[in-house]
Amino acid sequence: MTGQADSSTGTESNDGAGGATPLLQLTGIVKQFPGCLANDHVDLAIQPGEIHALLGENGAGKSTLVKIIYGVLKPDEGEIRWQGQPIAVQSPNHARRLGIGMVFQHFSLFEALTVAENIALGLTDAADRKGLRARIGEIGRAYGLQLDPDKAVHDLSVGERQRIEIVRCLLQKPKLLIMDEPTSVLTPQEVERLFETLRRLAREGCAILYISHKLEEIRALCERATIMRLGKVVAHCDPRQETARRLAELMIGTELKAASHHGRGGRDGAPRLAVRELSLKSEQQFGTDLKGVSFTVKGGEILGIGGIAGNGQSELMAALSGEMLAQSSDAVVIDNVPAGRLGPRARRALGGCFVPEERNGHGAVRDMSLSENAFLSGYVRQALAWRGLIDAGRSARFAEDVIKSFDVRTTGSGAEARSLSGGNLQKFIVGREVKQGPSVLVVSQPTWGVDAGAAAAIHQALIDLADGGAAVVVISQDLDEIFVLCDRIAVIAEGRLSQTIPVAEASVEQIGQWMGGTHLRDVGASHASA
């Protein structure tokens, strides 16, 4: 095994501490797909009790590698050793029997089943299912990942679905725990509590392979990092000794350009988006009703709305986009036009564009081409249809423009959406909306599961749009993102919106407490400040 440090990092090799036998050792792993060498002779070693970061851009090969470890995919070449013995991981069930647990970024859940039923499916031993509902509660309280065991998955938000995956994995008491973006649904206080638990697991001998694009998390939690780029391992380092910027630059192989404002237009003008006493009953059986939500956003301004998943974000997004109609026309006003009773097409005609939380199935249709996906939301504002017929050529050109402008890594506009990595699909969806030149853009979780380079590009696109005079609303569970990107911040909890305050006057601790609902006792259903 080569496993030597990239010369630019000046750090040690990946062979493990003191020559001890690794819990997991990969040597020369190769995995190729048509037109793509996903893993190119990858070496990786993880010691018992180690918290090890796996870093890289979207499309760097991380997901392919962990799927090989977990038995979802089989390598074309190379060797896997588990506790010093050569092994072929035949399936996820085999991996779980070995003691390998995996929390995927994209969930493997049955929507028609309940939380408890989904968790039970991942437990191979019947004895593990005894007292399951009580144990779900215990794990939830310990990790800050509360779940109702009797809720159906189809009624849960994306964040709540991620909690199921984490709890299901932890119930199996794994020797190696692979975690892919596990903190996107947690408050800062809950993140720290999760980290305390992970550190305790590591002290007890459980190894953790941690994948996250939140580089400050990596620096706070992990003691070693393996960095991949274009399918290859390019560096090993101690992330505690590196800056987040340096880690990002190792991932992308070039200097990271931070998002910057160029001067906003129209911030002192009239609101371009006004929401007035918006109350709405959720269409989901276990959803969260909106209660008296009010806020305004001026042109040239970015408003961030934070909150823990399942507190009304999906209902708010649906109410703003027109997928759910408000109780009155003036509950949602776009450029002084009452739009609360208008559907999505009419709101787009007024100047609204929307990026939903779930990119697969909601933001894009996986089995459709990028050209077809560009048409789905762009046909109104981009005139992609004529006399009831799709203009295929114009749709393809629009898609190609998005691909070029947002550096979407794909084979072209004819590629199916499912062929893109998560970050590249997210760049395409955001780009598709931004390139329509909206006066109002509402985007939910703009960089969930997206690498540092793609996140910076998305942030810059949103800033540029606001600089041009648009009103932008960012609904995000990532407080770091809100503090970097937004001018003002509010928090949604239990369907109510807090007051809005300038980001410069807010602290992470204060907003974290609001996300937990403590602020509601003071503000009740009062209007948000403009």
Q: Stretch 399-415: mean pLDDT, rounded?
A: 93
**Whether residue 529 has pLDDT greater than 50:** no
Q: Write down the pLDDT at residue 272.
A: 97
The CA distance from 458 to 140, in Å, is 33
pLDDT at 324: 96
Q: Which of 482, 364, 486, 349 is nearest to 432 (CA)?
A: 364
Q: What are the distances in angstroms from CA 328 to CA 331, 335, 430?
A: 6, 16, 29
SS3 246: helix
What CATH number is given for 1-99+174-255 in this structure? Answer: 3.40.50.300
Distances in Å between the Cα of 249 and the Cα atoms of 34, 44, 51, 299, 459 are 28, 21, 22, 33, 17
Quick one: what percent of the chain has pLDDT higher than 90? 60
Indicate whether 413 pLDDT > 50.
yes
Distance CA 268, CA 255 (A): 35
Nearest-5° Cα angle at 327, 322 to 331: 70
338's tokens: 């009452």
The answer to whether the Cα torsion of 424, 409, 229, 20 is positive or negative is positive
The pLDDT tens digits of the residues spanning 123-148 come to 767 666 778 999 999 888 877 778 99
The answer for residues whose C-beta is within 8 angstroms of residue 279's C-beta and 6 or more apart is 289, 290, 291, 292, 293, 327
**Mean confidence (pLDDT) of the chain:** 87
HEC sequence for 425-483: HHHHHHHHHHCCCCCEEEEECCCCCCCHHHHHHHHHHHHHHHHCCCEEEEECCCHHHHH
Of 73-82, 135-144, 345-354, which gets the smallest average pLDDT? Answer: 135-144
Per the listing, tokens 């144990």 go with 135
Distances (CA, A) of 495 to 67, 247, 346: 37, 37, 26
- Give the confidence band of 524 by pLDDT, cuts at 50, 70, 90: very low
What element of type H or E holds 496? strand 496-497
Residues 489-511: b if buried by 16+ CB within 10 A, e if exposed:
bbbbbebbbbbbbebeebeeeeb
Q: For residue 47, what are its two tokens?
A: 């010691």
Provide the pLDDT for residue 509.
83
Q: Which residue has the tokens 């042109």?
A: 299
Indicate the CATH number of 271-351+438-523 among 3.40.50.300, 3.20.20.220, 3.30.1330.20, 3.40.190.80.
Answer: 3.40.50.300
Secondary structure of residue 278 in the 3-state scheme: strand
Q: Which helix (H) or strand (E) holds 394?
A: helix 392-405
Q: What is the mean pLDDT of residues 178-187?
A: 77
Supply 244's token pair.
């987040």
Q: Region 447-461: what's the mean pLDDT? A: 84
Q: Other CB atoms closer than 10 Å to residue 392's CB: what's the count?
A: 12
How far apart (Å, rounded) are the C-alpha atoms in residues 229 and 214? Answer: 17
| pLDDT tens, position by position, 9-58 | 444 445 555 568 999 999 999 999 987 899 999 999 999 999 999 999 87
Q: Tokens in use for 361? A: 């199935």
Q: Which range has the worst mean pLDDT, 141-145, 341-345, 408-412, 451-455?
A: 141-145
Residue 466 backbone phi and psi in degrees, to 5? -65, -40
Say how far apart CA 348 and CA 441 lie, in whole Å: 10
Yes or no: say if 278 and 292 are a contact pair by the CB < 8 Å rule: yes
Tell me how far apart the alpha carbons of residues 525 and 190 are, in angstroms, rounded to a whole number. Answer: 25
Tokens 């046909």 belong to residue: 379
pLDDT of 155: 77
Token pair listed for 161: 């679905």
Q: Which amino acid is at 375?
A: F
Give the Cα separation of 510 and 214 in Å (integer). Answer: 20
25 and 1 in contact (C-beta within 8 Å)? yes
Domain with CATH 3.40.50.300 in the chain: 1-99+174-255, 271-351+438-523
Please work out, in degrees rounded to the nearest 5, the angle formed at the alpha carbon of residue 405 by the alpha carbons of 231 and 261: 105
Q: Model pTM greater than 0.85? A: no
The reported pLDDT for the residue numbered 183 is 77
Please check whether residue 171 is in contact with residue 140, taking contact to mean a CB–CB distance below 8 angstroms: no
